[in-house]
Amino acid sequence: MRNAALVLGIIGGLFAMLVGFFSYGYTEAAARYAEIEEIFGPIANRDLIRTVSFAAPLLAIAGGAMARARALWGGVLMLVSAAGMYIAFGFNVFTMFPLGFCLLGGVLAIAAGKPDEPKAHF
């Protein structure tokens, strides 16, 4: 389960990075060119989108990397990453796979209660 959590966290983080690049870029373009917001509508919370665009991929990749050694911490980081993405971006065609990978990786990491190593997290 720890290896699956590792892979899912890293892949989810990479997909989240793509979503983050485009989201941050869109907020930047909308700030510079008012026509974009006139055409597509105003951005509700620009700072939240920018913060989550940066933090969510970091948390997901770090959580996936920690999943083998510290499964509880890694799982919590992946779940926080998924929660941040859902709050900032919602569930749509672009976020469904990063959200799914991070959620499943977080659940698998937390569920790995009996690790292969002598240290258990609960």
How many domains is the chain built from? 1
pTM of model > 0.85 = yes
Higher-pLDDT residue of 116 and 41 is: 41
Q: How far is CA 67 from CA 46, 92, 94, in A?
A: 31, 27, 25
Banded model confidence at residue 1, pLDDT cuts 50, 70, 90? confident
> Residue 84 CB: number of other CB atoms within 10 A?
20
Residue 74 placed within a domain = yes
Longest dimension (CA), the chain: 59
Report pLDDT digits (tens) over 67-84. Answer: 988 899 999 999 999 999
Distance CA 45, CA 30 (A): 12
Residue 97 lies in a domain: yes
Q: What range does the domain containing 27 cover?
A: 2-111
